[in-house]
Amino acid sequence: MILIDYKDSRPIYEQVVDKFRLLILNGVLNKDDKMPSVRALAMELSINPNTIQRAYNELERQGCIYTVKGRGNFISDPESLKEEYRREIFGKLDDVCDLADKAGIGPEELTAHIEVRSSAGTESENRQGDKDNGTDKGKEGEQS
């Protein structure tokens, strides 16, 4: 259900958070579904329960799940998550636009690139080269 990428520079707990957010967004996990227990998931992924706990804490803080003591963690209403996710995406898009602008790349080039990308079925999975060194970090090729 969840896979950890140890080559990913991002911390494990953050990967777990992201995976679950996507599972919720994509409707794999629905409102009031039970999350795997902290210990069970930790065992399954062969990582420490504290790390899962931290991920779950973050998910709860973000409003993605709620906790019932002694019972477990459960999915919250995904609607608010959806909206927040959109804001995140568009925020990142804004960041890229700003960067592009600084380098003299106009918005037309960006939209052109998106259109080319989407018309072809081009995936960017294997484009990782020498990232993680200087200018950016994390976010390699998420696997599901």
Partner DNA sequence: GTGGTCTAGACCACT
Partner DNA sequence: GTGGTCTAGACCACA
Which residues of the shown chain bind a copy of itself in the complex (CB under 8 A)?
Answer: 6-7, 9-12, 14, 17-18, 21-22, 25-26, 58, 61-63, 66-71, 74, 76, 82, 85-86, 88-100, 102-107, 110-111, 113-115, 117-118, 123-124, 127, 129, 131, 133-140, 142
Neighbours of 86 (CB within 10 A): 10
What's the CA gap between 66 and 11, in Å, rounded? 23
In sequence order, what DSSP letters do the residues of 87-118 get, joined into one string?
A: HHHHHHHHHHHHHHHHTT--HHHHHHHHHHHH
In sequence order, what DSSP letters do the residues of 48-84 get, joined into one string?
A: -HHHHHHHHHHHHHTTSEEEETTTEEEE--HHHHHHH
Q: Which is nearer to a copy of itself, 39 or 113 (CB)?
A: 113
- Shortest Å distance, C-beta 128 to a copy of itself: 9
Angle made by CA atoms 96, 16, 42, in degrees to the nearest 5: 165
Mutual angle of helices 49-61 and 38-45, in 10-degree steps? 120
* Residues 40-69 interacting with DNA (rule: CB under 7 A): 40, 47-51, 53-54, 56-57, 60, 67-69
Q: Which is nearer to a copy of itself, 37 or 67 (CB)?
A: 67
Q: Tell me which of DNA, a copy of itself, none is bound by residue 82, counting a contact when its beta carbon lies within the kind-specific cut-off of 5 to 8 angstroms.
A: a copy of itself
Among 39, 61, 92, 117, binds DNA (CB under 7 A): 39
Enumerate binding residues for DNA (CB under 7 A): 11-14, 35, 37-40, 47-51, 53-54, 56-57, 60, 67-73
